[in-house]
Structure 1
C-alpha cells in the first residue's frame, strides 16, 4: 500500500503566491509541503539568463506607488530594483507597415524592475523555506475531503497516483480556471462554483513574450526609448528590457497575434526579427541572444479556455464570492483570486496573505 505523507498544510502551486505562502508559514511552528507540477518553481515568473542578465518572460514590473506589499517585501528581502528605462521618443507602426517616430508614453505611475529579474524574488523567498518542503514535478490530479482532513493525490487523471499527501488545511495557489480544468475534486464542487472558477481568466495565459539581447543599446543612441506599438504585428507592444546602466541591453515585449495563430515558432521568430529591423533598424535583427515564451502552450498555465486573447485587464475576485470551501479547510490563493490588484504580483502576495491568515487565525 502506498504510504501517505502527513503535514499541517499543503500548498498546491509553486508560483509567487504559493512560495510566498510557504515563506509565511515557515516563520510559524507549522509543517507544510508545496506541490509544484513543473520542474521549477516560479510559475509565470520565468527569467532565462545571458551573461549575468536575466530576461523577464513573465511579469517584468511593479509599481511602488500602488503596490505596497511587493515594495515592502522587496525591501525586507534586501533586493534591489531600478526604474524602467523610458527616456526618449517612441515608435509607432501603422497597419500598412509604415513606421513613425512619436513622443514616448511613460508609464503612470512609474514602474520598476528587479536586478536579477523577477525570479530573484522567488530565489530569495526559497532561501527561507525548508529544503524538503518544496516538491517539484508533483502535478496534483485529485483532491479529496475526508474525515481525517484533505487527501491529495499526485500523478495524472485516470491513472494510478504515485504519491499521496494528507493535511488539515490546503491552499490552492494556482489559477482557479486551471484548478477546475485539471483537478478532480471529491466531493464534486457545485456547478455554480465550478463555472465561476472556469470563468476567471488566467492572466498572461494567452500571451507570448520575447526578449532580444544586444551588446549595445543602439536605439538609445539615436534618441529612442525602446518603446514601440504596432497595429501590424506580429509584435504589438515593445519596451526597453535592458539591465540598468550596463550591458547587456535588450528589447522585450508581447506578441500581438492570437494564440491559435502562433503555432509555427521558427516562422514567428523570423517575423519578429523582420519587424524589429523595420522599427529600430537592421541591427535589431541581429541580437546576441533571443528568448521566447508562449504561455498558451504551457500545460501548467493555460487551458483551452485561455486561447482567446484578453483585450482588457479583468476585475479579479474569489470564485463565487468564496475565499475558502469545505468548511474552511481549502483556501483559494493565486493572483486571480486577489481582493485587490488581481493579475499582478501584488495580487499574488495579497491572496497568499489572506489564505495564510485564515489558516493561522
Structure 2
C-alpha cells in the first residue's frame, strides 16, 4: 500500500497516458502511470527490422488536419515523410480477378514518421522519470473513498499485489475495456456502464500485416503498392518503405473476421499467396513478416471487439461527459475525443482536455 495520497494515477501507458504524464511532469504534479503490459505504447507497436521500425498499429498522420501530432513531431525533433503513392494501384474482385487501376490518391496527403509511430511514444517517455511508469501493473479495482480513490493492482478476487491512493484518476484506456476488466465501487450506473460497453475500441477487431523487402519490385513494374481487395485475406495494402528507400515494405489490414484468424500461420500463408497475385512472385518471398492480431490482445480487446467496426465510429466521452465521481475519475484516450477520435490526434486531444478538466475542477472545488 502506498499510504501517501498522490495527485494523479494514470491507468494506461498508451500515447494518451504518456502524453498526459509529460504534461503533469511539466506542472510538477505527483503521479504514477500504471500499465498492464510489459511495454509502453498501447496500440502503437513498431517492431524493428535492421533499424527500420515497422508499424502494426497506427501508421499515418495528416499534417493538414492533425495539428497536435504535427506539433509533437516538431517538438520532439522528429521528422515525417510523405506516403509513397506514385504509380498504378491494384484491385482484386470478390472472385479473385486482379485489375490494374489508376492510383488511389489520398486527400489530405498521408505522412509517415521516421522511426515509426513508436518514436512519438519514446520521445514522450524521455520526459517522464522512469520510476513513475510502472509496467506489469494491471488495475483490477477502483474504490471511491471520501477524499481519494483506492486503486488495486492484480487479479480481481485475489489479494491485491499493491494499492495506490490518488486524488484523481485518468482512465487512459478504452471505455469498453475499462467497463469489462475493472470493478468500480460503488457500482457505475447502468446507463454509464452500457455507454462504455457500446463504445467501439478502435483497431481492437483488426489485424495488421507488414512484409519487409530488400527491393521494391512493384515500383519497377509501375505500381504504387496500393491495393484494395474484396476477396482477401488482405483488404487494403500500401507501400511502406523507409524515407531513404533503403528498406521497402508492404503493409495493410487483414479483412478476414477475427473468428477465422485464429490460425496465424495459415493467415500469413494465404496473405503471401495474395501478394504474389497482386504484385508478382517476388512479393510472396519477403525478407521478414510481422503480424499483429489486436482482437486477441487481452489488454486491447474484449470478446465483443472481435466484431470489427465496418465504419469509423463517431466518438465522444461516455454519456457525453469526460469525468465521473465529481471529477475524481476522468475519461481519457482516443475513444473519448470528439476531435479525430480513433486517431493519434484524438489521443493527444483527450490528454490535453483531461489535464485541463482536472485542474479546472480542482480550482472550482
TM-score by length of 1: 0.98
Matching of residue 158 in structure 1 with residue 166 in structure 2:
no
Matching of residue 320 in structure 1 with residue 319 in structure 2:
yes
Secondary structure of the corresponding residue to residue 122 of structure 2: helix
Matching of residue 69 in structure 1 with residue 68 in structure 2:
yes
- How far 1:3 moved relative to its partner? 4.8
Q: Distance in 2 between matches of 1:270 and 1:29?
A: 52
Q: What CA deviation, in whole Å up to 9, does each residue of 1:222-275 have, x standing for no partner?
A: 110000011111110000111013221000000001111111111111101100
Task: Report if the CA contact (8 A) 2:235-2:253 is conserved.
Answer: yes
What are the residue-to-residue correspondences of 1:254-269 with 2, within 5 Å? 254-269=253-268
Q: Tell me which residue corresponds to 1:99.
A: 98
Q: Which runs of 5+ in 2 are unaligned?
A: 361-365
Task: Report if the CA contact (8 A) 1:32-1:133 is conserved.
Answer: yes
Q: What CA deviation, in whole Å up to 9, does each residue of 1:23-71 have, x standing for no partner?
A: 1111012111000000000000000000110110000001111111111
Alignment coverage as a number of residue pairs:
360
Q: Distance in 1 between matches of 2:218 and 2:276?
A: 11
**Gap change, CA 1:98 and 1:137, over 3 Å in 2:** same
Q: Tell me which residue corresponds to 1:352.
A: 351
Task: Report if the CA contact (8 A) 2:34-2:134 is conserved.
Answer: yes
Q: Distance in 2 between matches of 1:349 and 1:291?
A: 27
Q: Tell me which residue corresponds to 1:240.
A: 239
Q: Distance in 2 between matches of 1:4 and 1:246?
A: 54
Q: What CA deviation, in whole Å up to 9, does each residue of 1:308-357 have, x standing for no partner?
A: 12111000000011110001111000000002110000000000001101
- How far 1:89 moved relative to its partner? 0.5
**Gap change, CA 1:161 and 1:95, over 3 Å in 2:** same
Q: Which runs of 5+ in 1 are unaligned?
A: none
- How far 1:74 moved relative to its partner? 1.0
Q: Distance in 2 between matches of 1:57 and 1:4?
A: 40
- What is the CA RMSD across the aligned residues, in angstroms? 0.9
- How far 1:185 moved relative to its partner? 0.3
Secondary structure of the corresponding residue to residue 320 of structure 1: helix
Q: What CA deviation, in whole Å up to 9, does each residue of 1:142-182 have, x standing for no partner?
A: 01110130110000111111010111011000000000000
Matching of residue 224 in structure 1 with residue 223 in structure 2:
yes
Q: What CA deviation, in whole Å up to 9, does each residue of 1:273-320 have, x standing for no partner?
A: 100011101101111110000000000000011011211100000001
Q: Distance in 1 between matches of 2:93 and 2:285?
A: 23
Q: Tell me which residue corresponds to 1:336.
A: 335
Q: Tell me which residue corresponds to 2:192.
A: 193
Secondary structure of the corresponding residue to residue 158 of structure 2: coil
Q: Tell me which residue corresponds to 2:6.
A: 7
TM-score by length of 2: 0.97
Task: Report if the CA contact (8 A) 1:5-1:164 is conserved.
Answer: no
Q: Tell me which residue corresponds to 1:37.
A: 36
Secondary structure of the corresponding residue to residue 314 of structure 1: coil
Q: Distance in 2 between matches of 1:345 and 1:224?
A: 29
Q: Distance in 2 between matches of 1:93 and 1:262?
A: 20
Matching of residue 19 in structure 1 with residue 7 in structure 2:
no
Secondary structure of the corresponding residue to residue 209 of structure 2: strand
Secondary structure of the corresponding residue to residue 7 of structure 2: strand
Task: Report if the CA contact (8 A) 1:63-1:111 is conserved.
Answer: yes
Q: Distance in 1 between matches of 2:173 and 2:95?
A: 41
